[in-house]
């Protein structure tokens, strides 16, 4: 059985995405060629997306 390396820890969630084998191969190859991890590239994209499009966090304040 293969041991899977994880970066999960307290306060982290796993995200699974189904993509074609071809896209996965190309993405892995492209990130490796740049010396990057696929996870880091995806996390950067998600962060940029949320910063641009995400909802504004509700402000904590006094109760009415």
Whether residue 38 contacts residue 44, with contact meaning beta carbons closer than 8 Å, is answered with no
Quote the CA–CA distance of 62 and 41 in Å, as a whole number: 39
* Residue 64 pLDDT grade (very low, low, confident, very high; cuts 50, 70, 90): low
Segments in the chain forming alpha helices (H):
21-33, 38-53
In eight-state DSSP terms, residue 15 is -
7 pLDDT more than 90: no
- Contact, 31 vs 38, CB < 8 A? yes
pLDDT tens figures, 18-53: 999 999 999 999 999 999 999 999 999 999 999 999
């Amino acid at each position: 059985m293969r041991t899977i390396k994880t970066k999960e820890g307290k306060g982290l969630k796993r995200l699974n995405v189904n993509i074609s084998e071809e896209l996965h191969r190309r993405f892995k190859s492209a990130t490796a060629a740049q010396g990057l991890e696929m996870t880091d590239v995806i996390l950067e994209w998600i962060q940029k997306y949320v910063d641009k499009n995400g909802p504004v966090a509700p402000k904590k304040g006094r109760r009415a």
